[in-house]
Every structure is written in C-alpha cells, then in structure tokens.
Amino acid sequence: MALIVQKYGGTSVGTVERIQAVADKVKRFREQGDDVVVVVSAMSGETNRLIGLAKEMQDQPAPREMDVLVSTGEQVTIALLCMALNERSCPARSYTGTQVRILTDDAHTKARIQDIDDENIRADLKAGRVVVVAGFQGVDDNGNITTLGRGGSDTTAVALAAALKADECQIYTDVDGVYTTDPRVVEGARRLDEITFEEMLEMASLGSKVLQIRAVEFAGKYDVPLRVLHSFQEGPGTLITIEDENTVERPVISGIAFNRDEAKLTVLGVPDIPGVASKILGPVSDANIEVDMILQNIAEDNTTDFTFTVHRNDYDRALSILERVSSELKAREVQGDNKIAKVSIVGVGMRSHAGVATKMFGALAGEGINIQLISTSEIKISVVIAEKYLELAVRSLHSAFELDEAEVVQES
C-alpha cells in the first residue's frame, strides 16, 4: 500500500463532469489499497473571474483582501469533489489551507510555506478516508488567509507530500508530461520519460508552465518523487527525480524554455562609482519586484549603462521607480522595452560538452535574430530577443539540437 498525493489543476476540475471523472480516478486508487491525499485548484477560469470582480471594485485592491477573495475558488472545488467521492461510497473529507494549518509567512499573494500540521490528515487516512485539500492557500501567524501565487497548488501538493513522506506526488494536468518544448510552438516536440530536478527547476524558472518553480524546489529539497501526468489519458507521464550517476549519458540539451512575460529597463549614463548598482536595484527590490537578467556596460567617459529585466506585469512600476532614481543619480536617460522574450536551452549534459553556446548563437544568427542579453549557468543558456522572433527562435533551436529526433537515454 502506497501513500500518494495527487494534484488536479483548474482544467482537470473545470466542470462538474470533470470533477466526477477525477472522483472515479481517485476511487480506483483507493480500491487498489493506496492512501490518497488530493490537492485541487479552483475550477478553470474561476480565479480570473474573482480577480475581475475585484477590479470592478478597486483598481488596486489590498493584497490581504485579494487573498480572502481568490482563496474561495479552491473551497468550492474541495467541497464538490468530496461530494462526488462520498456519492461513490468513497469516504472523503475536505480541508481549506487554514483548516489543515498550512502555515505561511505574511507576504500576501505570494506567500511561502513555513510549516504544515499533518495531524488531522493522518487521522483521516488512518480512518480510511480520502483527504481533499484546497491548493494555493495557507494561513499566517495572525490567522490571515494567504495565497501562494499563480500555480501555488503544485507547491501545496509537493509540500504535503514532503510532510507526509508520500511515496509519490502526482501532478495531473492537461498535458501528458514534460516536453522538450511547447508542442503548440514546435510540432515535433517530444515528451520526456524522465528529467532531473535541476533541469526541471531551470525549465520552470525560465518559462515552462508545466510546474511552478517553488513546487520543484520543494520536491528537490525533500527528494519527493514527482510525476507529471495527464488527467484523463493513461500513460507513464514524466518522472522528475535526482540525477542518477549510473545514467549512461544524457542528451546535451533536454529542453527549450521560453517566456513572453519579460520587460527590459535601461538606465543610461549613470556615474560609474561603487554602489551604483545597489542604488538602482535597491528601490526596485523594496517594491517587491523581482529582477532577472542584469547587464552593465562601462563607457569611456566613466559612465555606465545599467540594464535589467523584470516580469512584464511589473514594468510600469519599475519604470516609474527608475525615473525617480535616475534623477537622483543624475543619469542621462531611462529606456524601457516591454516587447521582448527570453529563450533558454537547458540540459545537465552541457557540463560535459563544449560548443553548446556557439551552436545556439549560430542557429539564431542563421535566422537573423539579434541577441540583446545573455545569461548562463552550468546547465542553461538564456538569451533575450525581440518578442516577434520568439517562435522562430524556439523552432530553430529545437531543430539545431535535434530534440525532435534524439531518443531519451535510459539508465543502464
């Protein structure tokens, strides 16, 4: 008998019929003798509907009240799924994040999990019940409802799996696994049987929408076997696990990630003095805006041009902050561009293969695509390009690294 944590996303529970199909699937696991904890998202479109209601009331609602509002979506789903399970003579009990006591910090709309009280869950499992938990939400020390940010249900599921020491955490979604890149962009994209936590972490951080980055971080930190599966199609999915030293040889590149939600900001003609980077980025950080890629160019006149990227949603706020800061620093000008995209190649095989960057840059140059920024790590190379070239870039790189032809090398 295994203990399995399953997570079903918004499209998987988007209608009453789909919730009933999930109940049928969960019941089959119980009939096999497995203990099951289910984490669910709000029904597809519900969170956006709630956000829309908030915007009708106030242009910039208080984050605390937004958390109170959007957390109700998952509450509906857990109740409906429990009703469907109980109707099938499969005893079930629902819990909100507050009831489980998924303790988080107080960073509303993007809270982080600090602790989980699993006592009630274990008691219900021992009594033979399926436990259904609302994803995406928790509670802070003061009893305030918090949410974990978009995709937070993945994090809830992995955190519960870690706390319960589950045998596997299964993420059910509308795709049948992790692909070399988005199949909607590249027709020849291929499903991976296996990918390392390290690679998946890079893919998630660089724009892959299959899993939330914090979910992968949790899984890697606590070594939780993680599997991505299709909600309503049978198949092995993709297993995300630690890198195995016994693997004969991994492909040089495992996948290509991309992100359209990028914006670039540049402060031109800043005095080249110690601490200038901190003076530029400090106010941006204080506004809780995350900075991604950074580039600094030194000119002959002892000034510097300082460029960095942020999420496109933060572009206007960051630009406003920079205009104020640039005046204080006596910078020449502030420029911005919110029509850029980031394309990245990822693979642990890059560690033992030379020439990967040259091959990447050559493929892009062959298509006449100009690179604006470059960032590298041991297992990834990211470039910023004009958004209009995004799909062309992804297709050319997928072909250059033969990702549609290569076979996944299995362990010996």
- The predicted model gives 26-43 an average pLDDT of 96
47 is an annotated ligand-binding site residue:
yes
222 is an annotated ligand-binding site residue:
no
Q: Are 297 and 305 in contact (CB under 8 A)?
A: yes
Residue 246 clears pLDDT 70, i.e. is over it: no
151 is an annotated ligand-binding site residue:
no
Residue 343 clears pLDDT 50, i.e. is over it: yes
Mean pLDDT of the chain, nearest integer: 92
172 is an annotated ligand-binding site residue:
no
300 is an annotated ligand-binding site residue:
no
pTM summary value: 0.80
Task: Tell me the CATH architecture of domain 256-400.
Answer: 2-Layer Sandwich (3.30)
Among 133-147, 225-239, 293-307, top mean pLDDT goes to 133-147
Give the pLDDT confidence score for residue 406 in this predicted structure: 45
337 is an annotated ligand-binding site residue:
no
pLDDT tens column, 220-237: 989 999 999 998 888 999
- Confidence band of 273 (pLDDT split at 50, 70, 90): confident
Q: Which CATH superfamily is domain 3-174 in?
A: Acetylglutamate kinase-like (3.40.1160.10)
Give the pLDDT confidence score for residue 399 in this predicted structure: 94
303 is an annotated ligand-binding site residue:
no
Give the pLDDT confidence score for residue 410 in this predicted structure: 37
184 is an annotated ligand-binding site residue:
yes
- The predicted model gives 357-372 an average pLDDT of 96
- Confidence band of 250 (pLDDT split at 50, 70, 90): low
Residue 377 clears pLDDT 60, i.e. is over it: yes
- Confidence band of 207 (pLDDT split at 50, 70, 90): confident
Q: Which residue from 264, 350, 380 is spatially nearest to 315, judged by alpha carbons?
A: 264
Residue boundaries of the structural domains of the chain: 3-174, 256-400
173 is an annotated ligand-binding site residue:
yes
- The predicted model gives 128-140 an average pLDDT of 97
Give the pLDDT confidence score for residue 251 in this predicted structure: 72
Distance CA(324)–CA(222), nearest Å, equals 43
Among 248-257, 300-309, 333-342, top mean pLDDT goes to 333-342
- Confidence band of 407 (pLDDT split at 50, 70, 90): very low
Residue 70 clears pLDDT 60, i.e. is over it: yes
174 is an annotated ligand-binding site residue:
yes
Percent of the chain with pLDDT over 70: 96
- The predicted model gives 128-139 an average pLDDT of 97
67 is an annotated ligand-binding site residue:
no
55 is an annotated ligand-binding site residue:
no
- Confidence band of 409 (pLDDT split at 50, 70, 90): very low
- Confidence band of 412 (pLDDT split at 50, 70, 90): very low
Give the pLDDT confidence score for residue 408 in this predicted structure: 43
Give the pLDDT confidence score for residue 83 in this predicted structure: 98
